[in-house]
């Protein structure tokens, strides 16, 4: 029986014991132990395996206090790469108390609710280890025990919660004689949420108070591993944390542990018998570079393989779009000036962009500088690094859109923005010109609108079709039909009055190969209406007054040709 594909499985024990297909990432354990980093922050895009890797670390390192449970956890690693690494690593198995905290649930509407969710997550971990504390109650001072129980039962005040991680490590050491491993998943989610909801400063102050005592001056800490999308600056929440080791997507160490490498993808596709689909999968879900390692989006790869296993002809989809926040792209587009719009268009047309690398950023920086915004898009997976180079004592990165999946997210965001903006415009002059047969005024109105929008040209006719259909759809006096079967082919757009006594129009579009071809292509578009008898459908319906327009586009320019309903 073929192993099931692990869509949404983020618990390592469930992954292994339930028999899901698992790509072995256990050598992350070896590298962590070899590098001996005290506090390690891994920044990777959403859905690149951070939560599953932290779960793996928990099951490897955690001493549950129960011999049989520990033995069960050790068996999870039989046959894995770390099991072959030697006794120097095996001796760490089930060796430490583990505080496992996820902050994913802190995406709430205000600080009070976000704080409550963090407090609840902390209390849950305290309650999970309560038996250890109860069994060694005499080892703790009365005050330590009292504070521990208050946090476990969710009764502690905020000032006590702020010191919770430090207290936990102290109590565990007194109870077990062992230092604690702290695992923290998605540490930056509360900050991202707070930024977009308007209480960033409040949340930053709280998280700084929660993290600093446990990570900065904690004699009872074995090591800590944190994950997130972004390297939030030390001035924001890591003030004075000098031993923090940040492993970003630019770091060459640890580069193969998050996301799938190409050999891993090829083996997986062979296992499921869909190797012939590799070129499509690569085009859509490859393109990321962590350090010097080529990386595929694991979430999208697994979802595409799941669809292929049911239907070999399954089409690729932007699976990642439904799992990640597109707020940053939307903000970029909403605030884009002329220069930024040009940069977005260049990226959408397969070009690259050179930016100065800023690894330490805050969400507040998004309001101040476009360069910081490009860095945000890089570290969150919406751009990828092609190369890096030194210029004027600064590191510069050449970045691009990684693959077709991410490109489709940009395009859909642009189209939604364009649709919203068009709804706010007044196009009465354009409609009037169309009714009057005034091709020059139509051209001027379209050119002005093209200058203000963001364009992409890989499927140029589709883009221009959506652009023009969006404008025409704003009229309350006409019905707009796109790509309707008509005569001997398909007319691009039909516009008609609800009354047969009213007006009807046919618009045929072409994307010119150069600006010099605009006039000729507009004339060809008009002639196509006649040659393929597009007018026939409207005349059959009963419309007697039909006008025709051939429109050619090249980037930000267009040309319009007018003709009557019969040649």
pLDDT tens sequence across 50-88: 999 999 999 999 999 899 999 999 999 999 999 999 999
The pLDDT score that the predictor gives to residue 475 is: 87
Assess contact for 446 and 430: CB atoms under 8 A.
yes
DSSP helix/strand/coil, 110? coil
Per-residue confidence (pLDDT) for residue 524, from 0 to 100: 96
Both tokens of 206, joined, read 């709280």
Residues 175 and 135: beta-carbon distance below 8 Å = yes
Number of H helices, E strands in the chain: 25, 17
Specify the pLDDT at position 1: 59
> In DSSP terms, which residues pair with 182 in a beta bridge?
99, 224
The residue with tokens 């890797």 is 53
Please say whether the dihedral angle defined by the alpha carbons of residues 32, 34, 40 and 43, taken in this order, is positive or negative. Answer: negative
222 closest CA partner among 14, 394, 57: 57
Q: Which H helix or E strand runs over 182?
A: strand 180-185
* Cα–Cα distance for residue pair 428/440, rounded to 1 Å: 15
Give Rg (Cα) of the chain. 29
**148: buried, middle or exposed (CB in 10 Å: 19+, 13-18, 0-12)?**
buried
Question: How many C-beta neighbours within 10 Å does residue 113 have?
Answer: 11
Share of the chain above pLDDT 70, in %: 94
Which pTM was predicted? 0.88
Question: Looking at residues 147-156, what average pLDDT do you find?
Answer: 95
The tokens describing 419, both together, are 């649709």
Find the length of the chain.
Answer: 567
Lowest mean pLDDT among 281-290, 413-422, 516-525: 413-422
Nearest CA to 61 out of 91, 16, 23 is that of 91
Q: How far apart are CA 242 and CA 69, in angstroms?
A: 37
| pLDDT of residue 489 exceeding 80 | no
Q: H or E stretch including 34?
A: helix 27-35
345: tokens are 């268009």
Which strand (E) or helix (H) includes residue 489?
Answer: strand 489-490
Residue 242: other Cβ atoms inside 10 A: 8
Range name among 172-181, 216-225, 430-439, 557-566 with the lowest pLDDT average: 557-566
How crowded is residue 31: how many other Cβ atoms within 10 Å of its Cβ? 15
């Amino acid at each position: 029986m073929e192993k099931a594909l692990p869509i949404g499985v983020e618990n390592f024990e469930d992954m292994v014991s339930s028999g899901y297909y698992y790509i072995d990432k256990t050598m992350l354990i070896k590298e962590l132990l070899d590098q001996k980093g005290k506090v390690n922050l891994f920044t990777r895009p959403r859905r690149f395996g951070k939560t599953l890797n932290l779960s793996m670390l928990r099951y490897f390192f955690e001493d549950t206090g129960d011999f049989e449970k520990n033995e069960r956890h050790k068996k999870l690693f039989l046959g894995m790469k770390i099991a072959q690494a030697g006794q120097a690593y095996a001796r760490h198995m089930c060796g430490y108390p583990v505080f496992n905290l996820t902050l994913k649930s802190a995406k709430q509407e205000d600080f009070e609710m976000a704080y409550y969710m963090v407090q609840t997550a902390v209390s849950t971990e305290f309650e999970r280890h309560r038996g250890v504390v109860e069994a060694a109650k005499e080892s703790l001072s009365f005050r330590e025990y009292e504070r521990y129980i208050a946090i476990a039962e969710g009764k502690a005040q905020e000032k006590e919660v702020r010191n919770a991680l430090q207290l936990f490590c102290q109590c565990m050491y007194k109870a077990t004689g062992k230092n604690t491993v702290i695992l923290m998943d998605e540490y930056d989610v509360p900050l991202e949420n707070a930024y977009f909801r308007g209480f960033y400063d409040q949340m930053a102050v709280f998280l700084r108070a929660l993290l600093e005592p446990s990570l900065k001056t904690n004699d009872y800490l074995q090591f800590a591993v944190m994950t997130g999308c972004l390297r939030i600056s030390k001035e924001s929440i890591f003030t004075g944390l000098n031993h923090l080791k940040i492993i970003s997507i630019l770091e060459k160490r640890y580069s193969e542990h998050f996301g799938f490498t190409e050999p891993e993808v090829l083996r997986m596709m062979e296992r499921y018998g869909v190797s012939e689909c590799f070129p499509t999968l690569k085009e859509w879900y490859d393109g990321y570079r962590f350090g010097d390692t080529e990386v595929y989006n694991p979430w999208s790869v697994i979802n595409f393989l799941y669809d292929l296993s049911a239907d070999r002809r399954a089409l690729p989809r932007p699976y990642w779009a439904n799992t990640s926040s597109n707020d940053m792209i939307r903000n970029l587009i909403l605030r884009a000036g002329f220069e930024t719009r040009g940069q977005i268009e260049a990226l959408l047309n397969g070009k690259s962009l050179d930016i100065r690398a800023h690894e330490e950023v805050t969400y507040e920086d998004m309001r101040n500088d476009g360069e910081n915004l490009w860095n945000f898009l890089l570290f969150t997976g919406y751009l990828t690094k092609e190369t890096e180079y030194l210029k004027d004592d600064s590191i510069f990165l050449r970045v691009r859109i990684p693959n077709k999946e991410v490109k489709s997210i940009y395009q859909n965001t642009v189209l939604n923005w364009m649709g919203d903006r068009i709804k706010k415009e007044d196009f009465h002059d354009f409609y009037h010109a169309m009714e009057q047969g005034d091709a020059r005024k139509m051209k001027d109105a379209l050119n002005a609108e093209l200058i203000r929008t963001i364009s992409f040209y890989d499927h140029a006719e589709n883009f221009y079709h959506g652009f023009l259909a969006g404008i025409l759809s704003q009229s309350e006096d006409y019905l707009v039909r796109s790509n309707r079967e008509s005569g001997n082919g398909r007319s691009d757009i039909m516009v008609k009055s609800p009354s047969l006594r009213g007006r009807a129009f046919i618009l045929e579009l072409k994307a010119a190969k150069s600006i010099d071809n605009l006039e000729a292509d507009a004339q060809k578009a008009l002639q196509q209406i006649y040659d393929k008898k597009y007018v026939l459908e409207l005349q059959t319906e009963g419309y007697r007054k039909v006008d025709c327009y051939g429109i050619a586009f090249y980037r930000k320019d267009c040309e319009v040709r007018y003709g009557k309903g019969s040649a």
